[in-house]
Structure formats: C-alpha cells, structure tokens
Chain A
Amino acid sequence: MTTFIVRRLVSLLLTLLGGFTVLFILFFALPGDPAELMAGGGNKNPSPAVVAAIREKFHLNDSVAEQYVRRLGETVTLSGTSYQTKEPVRDVVAERLPNSLRLAVWAIAIEITVGVGFGVLSARRRNSFADYASTLSAVVMSAIPVFVLAYLLKQVTGVYAFQHNWPDALRLPPIGIGPKEWYLGFIPSLEQLKYLIQPAIILASVSTAIVARLTRTTVLEASTMDHVRTARSKGLRDGEVTRRHILRNALIPVVTFLGIDFGTLVGFAVLTETVFDWPGLGSKVARAASTGDLPVVLALSMVVMLVYGLANLIVDVSYAWLDPRIRRNGGAR
C-alpha cells in the first residue's frame, strides 16, 4: 500500500508540472501584454515608457525559459503577486481555499446523505411511488441550470420570506460568506449555517441527482449477485444484507464519482460562488483567466489540481476498505 501511495504521489507531482507547463505556454500563446494590464488604464492607454518600465520590473523581457523557471518557483512557493490587484497570491489562496473546501465538503455531505439515501430507497422499493418520485426529482434537478435554481431558491428564502415577514429563523441571507464562525474548521455555527446551506445545496444539486441514479443502478446490480443470494438464504436480515453485502459493492463507482466530484466542486464552482457571493477559488480563477492575471491563474490552478489529485488518491485507497478482495490482493488495482 505504501509503495502504491508513493507511486501515486510522484505521478501527481508530474501531473502538476505538466499542468503548469501547459497553462504557462497557453498564456504566452494568447494575445495581450501583462505589462499593459499592470499599467492599468480603463481610461488611457499607458505610455510606452510606463509599459517598458513595468516589463523590466517584472522581468517580462527575460527569455521564455527564464520566465518559466521564475514563475515555477513563484508558483510552488506561492510568492507571486496578482497583476491586477497587486495582492500576494499566498493571501488569495489562504483566503479562498478554506472557503472552497468547506463548501465542497458540505456539498459532498449532501450528495452522500441525500443522493445515496434516495438511490438505495429507489432500488429497494423499485417501481414504487418513492422510486418514481426520486427519479423524477433527479431528472428535474439535473435539468435546471444552477443559477436559475439558485435565483429561485433565493427569491423564496430571501425576498419572499422578507416581504411576507417570515420568522428570522426561516429567512436565509441571499449572498455572503457570513460571520466566519467554524468549529474544527468545517462545522458551522448556527448563524454560519444560514449562509452555508443554500450554496451547499445548489452546488450539490446536480451531483446529488447523479449519485442517486448511480446508486440505484449499482444497488440493483449488486442485489442480484450470488453472494447476496447466499447471504439472504442464510437468513440474514434485509438491512444487514444491504449494508454488508450490497452497499460495499455498489458504492465503489459512487465513491469514484464522489472523489472526482470533490475536486470539481473545489475548483469549478464558479456559478454557485458568483450567485451567492461565496469567495472561493473557482470564481477567482475565472476572473483571473479573463483578465490575463497569470500569477493568480497558475497558483490557484495548481492548488485545484493538487486537491483534485489528493481526492482521487483517497478514493483509490478507500477501495481497499470497501472491497475486501482488493485488500487481500495487496491494495492496488
């Protein structure tokens, strides 16, 4: 298992280097001059002298290879500075990464409890009203664009609730990050929960529907396996069969999906972050990319890729726990 983990970590480092190189080259290939960006000027094109001074100061006249090495060092140590806002990227990461992680963790928690729960329910009560209802809900949730769903939700819990004098406890703030009251890093205070709940639900909405459908399918498949029939014939209770013999098999593809999804939720929750004004990584990367803010794009992209890689590594390791056959065969696939 240790060898496997080390091998995966080395592979992750190579992936990060590859990703960095691709992004760096793409930015050099794209039109636009970072010196002009730094010179500011919504109003006036900066004078050539000013642009030249900035180019010199930020080593933009160096060869591409020299810039690559310098930028790689800055990215690894998070010592770069935003072209646009002059913020140190370390500050950007320190502020935004925890926000993204918290939102993603709670979105995943919703996906697991609601998605897996409804998936199992649908499978166990196949062709029942509950099955049809959860299937329909899944289709609807997957089909509605995230920002529309978010807007409607906020209209109800924010605007309608305020205009119709709902009790304070039932009214939810439409935007913002809240009082930043977290216990053990991830557990929100009651007031904080008011700010977290809506973006977490919206961020989880599409994936929850997918998890529910995936769980239903895999549980149905696993239910027909020989060892499950054997377990039932031995007189084990239904709940125990589901928990010990069906779910452990059925959840492997679900866990794979959740692992990939976690990385996506951390780095690409652009719409949710924008609509709820939740200051995470995704909206910042999107903004930085559109303004050619290379230091921010590189640093945040690397952070997202790292989280993505680590999440997948944890998923791979978790297979061993879920499937005893993998454990017995040495832990690697």
Chain B
Amino acid sequence: MRIKSRNTTAAALVAALALFAGACGDSKDSGDNASTGTDSETKTTAPASDACRTLEYEDAPEGGTLEDYAQLSSAGDNTSFDPGAVQTLDESQVTTALFDGLTDFDFTDTCNPTIEPLVAEKWEANDDATEYTFTIKKDQVFSNGEPVLPSSFKRGWERSGSAELASSYGYLLAYVKDGDKLLDGSMTTLDSIVADDDAMTLKVTLADSNADFPAIVSFPAFSPITKEDFTRVGNTTGWGTKGVTIGNGPFKLESAESPDTGTVVLVRNDTWAGNIFGDKKAKLDKIVFHLTSEVEASFQAFEAGEGDTATIPSGQFGPAMEQYPNTVDSAMLGTYFFDFGHDDSNVGGEKNVKLRAAISMAIDRDEINAKVYEGTRFISTGITPPGIPGFESNLCKYCAYDPTEAKKLFKEWEADGGKIEGDIKISINSGGGHEDVAAIIQNNVKDTLGISLKIDAIEEDYFKVIAKEGACQICRSGWYADYPTYGNFMVDLFGAVSIDGNNLGRYDDEKFESLIADAQKETDDTKRGELYASAEKRLLNETVNAIPINWYTGDHVYRDSVVNYVQPPLGIFLWEKVGKNG
C-alpha cells in the first residue's frame, strides 16, 4: 500500500518559518537538538534490536471523543474508504474501524506477528495450499443488524474484483481461480468461491498455490458487505455514503462530509463481536476524523490546541518530538527504495551488475536519514523490513556506504567495457522530501563515481507514469505492507506479475520467479521465509536491481490525555483500544 505524498507548494517555506518560529519561541520550543543537518543522531542499522518492540496497551477509560487531525490531513487525495476501493493507508484507518475481516494479526511482539482468526472461527487448507475452507463464527451481525454470513464475504470479494468497481486492489482477487475473469468483466460471479450460509463455511479455490492466503484475506478488499449496501451502491463507489459503509467493526459511520473537507464521524458499534485480544467494546464513544488540506495546516491547528492527534510535517520532527508524545519510534513495515530499470540499456541487464552495485554503495544512507528525515528512520539493509516472518538482518551485500569499494566496482565495470551513454535519470514523485533524497544521491554518485544523474521530478500520477515500459532508469519506490508477509514485498514489488504495476523497474528474472513460486507453494512457514529471503538475495546481491534506502517509522503526535495511541507495524491503529482521559 502506498502512502500519500504529503507536500504542498507552500510546504517548504512554511516548514522554514516553523523552524524560525520554534527558534524564536520560549524555551520549551527551542532546544539544542537541531532538527535538520548532519549532526542529527541517525538510526543506523541494528534493526533486529531497534525496530522490534512489544506493543503494550493499558486499560483505557470508556467514553469520550477523539478529534483526529492525523489521518486525513492531505484531503485532496481522498477518494473512498469503502473496503472494496480504499487505496491509501490514511483512508484505511477509517475502513478498518468500520470493517473486520476473516483474519487479523497480533503484533504484540512486532517482529513475530501471529495470524489469528477474527470473523472466521478457523480455516483449513489442502496440502498444496490451493483450497481453503473458512468457517465463520455464528451470531455475528453488521451494525444494521444483518447477520455476517459466508455470502456476505462472497458478495464483498466479487464486488472488490469487479471490472465495474475497477478497484486499485482488485488485482488481489486474481489469487482466486478465475479472478482474472472477474477483473476483465467477462465474469461477474465466481464458482471458485462457495458460500454455504447453513454450514457457515466459505470455500475458496485459488488460481495457484498460495500459503499466504489467510494473511491476504486480512486486507480490507476481502471484507464482508451487507445486502443493504450492495443493493444501494452495487459495484459503484465514492466517498462516504456513495460507497459501502455498513460494517461489522468496532465503530459505525455516523456522517461523512465531502472527500476533501469537513469530517468523517464514527460512533461506537454496540453490535460489534470483538477483536482477537478479547475486547468486546470500543473505548471511545466517537472518533471525529478531520479532513484538512495539508499536513502543515493540521499540525499548526494541533499546536494551537485543536484536536488530539496530528501528523508531523517534514522539517518539524525535532521540536514536535520534544513537546508531544509521538509515534516516531514505532518501526513500520514500510520500505523506501529505488528500482533500476531492468531492461534499460545504460543501467539494466547482466552487463551492468557492477555498475548498479557501485551506485548502491556510493549512496550515503546516513546522510539522507539525517538531512531529510531528521534521523527518524531506520537505515535499511534489505528491501523487506524486520517484523516480516523470514526477515534476515544485513541481507544486502551492496547497501553499506563504501566509496572505496564503489570506486573499485566501477573501475572493474569500466574495464569490462562498460560505458554510460547519455544521461541517467533518477525519477521521483514531487513532494514528500523526495527531491532532497534524489539530490543527495546525485551528489554522492557524482562525488564517488563521477557519474552525473539527472533528477526527473514527476508531478502527477507518478506510479502510473513510471510503471510504463522504458520509463524507469533509476526510480523511487516506497511501500507499506498490506499484510505482514514476505510475499507482499517480493511478489508485489518485484514479481513479473506486478510489471505494469508496483514492479516499477519491470524486474523479470527467471531464477527469482522460480524462488518466489516455490515460496508461495511452501506451507512450512520457516521454509517459506527462507525461500523468499533467497529470492531477495537474488534481487539485491546477484542481479542488484534495487537500492534499499530506509525503513519507515511513525510520524504522529498526540495529546497526553490520549491513551493507547499505539501504532502497530502495519500503521493501522487499533481504534477500539484508543481512549481518552479527562
């Protein structure tokens, strides 16, 4: 899942003014720890110890209203929080408060998440992981009183994959047999999904073996939907009540104004069946999600006493972290990296492996973290972050900043006949500090290897533009896990099946494909993790087709009165646990 690029035309100047204002404020505002610059402390590697944590929740008081300014603070990009159509992590915060799926993850030990049945009572798979039977708990109801049945899931899944809905995540239904026909509109219902409401079972036949399927169905696109909503909106969607809103989660929708202004108000759903931790009732009476046009404006409102939560704008982490409780130390299952164009004549192909390794080793990731992210992120040693089952620390051979080794590799590449013709583009989507990252890489590569990179900032529809054939030479990518599986990084970001989509560099390697295919079939968790890790080694150490930069961390502040505002690794809050004192 991608996150929105939170930047505006005024952002840079406003951030500078904020720093100025901070310096001019009282002693609480100022302080010696500069929020930018190379002196900032950075989180260099050691992820296994730093990124892993134990999530702790206290018994929050009941009642109260949470005024949230953090989740929908870039409102111009909102399109829908309908589970079938939701695209961004921010909008998913609303969706997951409204809907519960078949399974969920317990992230108490963040580096060892366990999958648990949620609306499902249990599931069974056949030996080659091509057929799954989910048994649904009885007596669960939606907030409108309709029972949650296997057919509620079938209805929701087929809608998510329908050609008419054209959901960004509809492709997940291609894991189900004939799901591709649902996507292209040649089928509208799937015989491969059999809902037996009497037996309370949902039997699913997959297109191919996939041992991660129980994890995949935890994603909102696999939520159940009511007859009432489906009758009302069918396979169309939009913001608020233009889409599906009646859920079975801890909250229900009270009101939603337009997608770029006003509020989305949720109130406690008293018919909720509970979560995997045994909670049966949400603590808060109400959550008001405020839609704001930019992060800077909502953070300023927070500083002026409005609301209970906010997102920290770029450039203001230092003073914000000093003043308010925050989630900045929360490691997320998110990764920031650059792809190499697999078929690009200048940087792609087998003949340029050493060039790519040299470029990767010429990049000072600590400098990027200090100057752009104020030392808040974890320097990555691979694409896949800690917390994903099968994760291996220090997996990447060419990710450490080593100018001497980089020069050596570059000379070897030249000696083998390597020569750069024309410019090499480093493509980024405008905003979000990506220009600054690209500029540091540009300088690093020039200083170490003498290669000139040309920054190519793309304003709109970056991920669509750059995914097209021939568009990526070196191009930025970033990813938040949809569910904590290794496959969600390897298959979705580098699998041939994701070419034209999230595989921006159009990486297509026979050995890598064979490894991820074997991993998908493998039902033993440890062996599956090892196979995926082997695939990542192939990607990073043998073919060198990506440059890991850092792993994401949280970026929210909240009031002292807010309880259990704990950001799990997927970034989605457990809203039912959040409470408020006073």
- Most chain B beta-carbon contacts within 10 A, residue among A38, A43, A85, A147: A43
Q: Closest chain B residue to A292 by CB distance? A: B460
Within 8 Å CB of B242, what residues of A? 86-87
State whether A287 touches B260 (Cβ < 8 A): yes
Complex alpha-carbon distance, A271 and B14, angstroms: 13
Cβ of B258 within 8 Å of any chain A Cβ, yes or no, is yes
Shortest C-beta distance, A307 to chain B (Å), equals 20
Complex alpha-carbon distance, A43 and B300, angstroms: 31
State whether A43 touches B166 (Cβ < 8 A): no
Q: Give B451-473 as 1s and 0s: 1 = Cβ < 8 Å from A's Cβ atoms.
A: 00000000111011001100000
State whether A158 touches B303 (Cβ < 8 A): yes
State whether B501 touches A43 (Cβ < 8 A): yes
State whether B303 touches A46 (Cβ < 8 A): no
Cβ of B346 within 8 Å of any chain A Cβ, yes or no, is no
Stretch of A128-136, A226-234, A273-281 at the chain-chain interface: A273-281
State whether A171 touches B464 (Cβ < 8 A): no
Stretch of A117-125, A159-167, A318-326 at the chain-chain interface: A159-167
State whether A277 touches B183 (Cβ < 8 A): no
State whether A85 touches B239 (Cβ < 8 A): yes
Cβ of A317 within 8 Å of any chain B Cβ, yes or no, is no
Shortest C-beta distance, A90 to chain B (Å), equals 12
Q: Closest chain B residue to A158 by CB distance? A: B304
Cβ of A284 within 8 Å of any chain B Cβ, yes or no, is yes
Within 8 Å CB of A32, what residues of B? 461
Within 8 Å CB of A86, what residues of B? 236-239, 242
Count of interface residues, chain B, beta-carbon cutoff 8 Å: 62
State whether B87 touches A277 (Cβ < 8 A): no
Count of interface residues, chain A, beta-carbon cutoff 8 Å: 53
Within 8 Å CB of A223, what residues of B? none
State whether B168 touches A87 (Cβ < 8 A): no
State whether A171 touches B305 (Cβ < 8 A): yes
Complex alpha-carbon distance, A50 and B258, angstroms: 26
Within 8 Å CB of A182, what residues of B? none
Within 8 Å CB of B303, what residues of A? 158-159, 162-163
Cβ of B188 within 8 Å of any chain A Cβ, yes or no, is no
Q: Give A158-187 as 1s and 0s: 1 = Cβ < 8 Å from B's Cβ atoms.
A: 110111000000010111110000000000
State whether A177 touches B464 (Cβ < 8 A): no
Shortest C-beta distance, B232 to chain A (Å), equals 14
**A 25-66 contacts with B by CB, 8 A:** 32, 36, 38-47, 49-50, 53-54
Complex alpha-carbon distance, A148 and B15, angstroms: 11
Shortest C-beta distance, B432 to chain A (Å), equals 13
23 contacts between A and B (CB under 8 A): A40-B87, A41-B87, A41-B168, A43-B169, A43-B502, A44-B501, A45-B467, A45-B468, A54-B166, A86-B237, A86-B242, A151-B14, A151-B300, A154-B300, A154-B304, A159-B21, A174-B306, A271-B10, A274-B10, A274-B294, A274-B297, A279-B262, A284-B260
Given A147-B10, A175-B300, 4 new contacts (CB under 8 A): A32-B461, A43-B463, A85-B238, A171-B304
